[in-house]
Amino acid sequence: MGSFSIWHWLVVGILVLLLFGKGRFSDMMGDVAKGIKSFKKGMADDDSLAPPKHIEGQRAPDPTVTPTPTVDTENR
């Protein structure tokens, strides 16, 4: 009752082919495959990137923090 028969899927397949045409449907599937391949290539390229190098002439921020005088410390 809740499942579709083979005839239902045949009719749906024929309607899809009529709407999109054989060539257009295969072109769309080819585009999807190209997109998946480029995505996989992009993900593989991200893994092979080296970490950024230190550029000479730029200084890293000083990790030591100097306390600023406050009203309480000036009165002592």
Contact between residue 48 and residue 41 where contact means Cβ atoms under 8 Å apart: no
Q: Is the pLDDT of residue 46 over 60?
A: yes
Decide which of 8 and 68 is more confident. Answer: 8
Q: Say whether pLDDT at 47 is over 80.
A: no
16: nearest Cα among 31, 29, 3: 29
Which DSSP string corresponds to 38-72? HHHHHHHHHHHPPPPPPPTT-PPPP---PPPP-HH
Question: pLDDT band for position 59 (50/70/90)?
Answer: low
What tokens does 12 get? 């749906």
pLDDT attached to residue 65? 66
Q: Residue 25's CB: how many other CB atoms inside 10 A?
A: 13
- Residue 17: the pLDDT is 82
Structure tokens at 24: 């257009």
The pLDDT value given to residue 75:
56
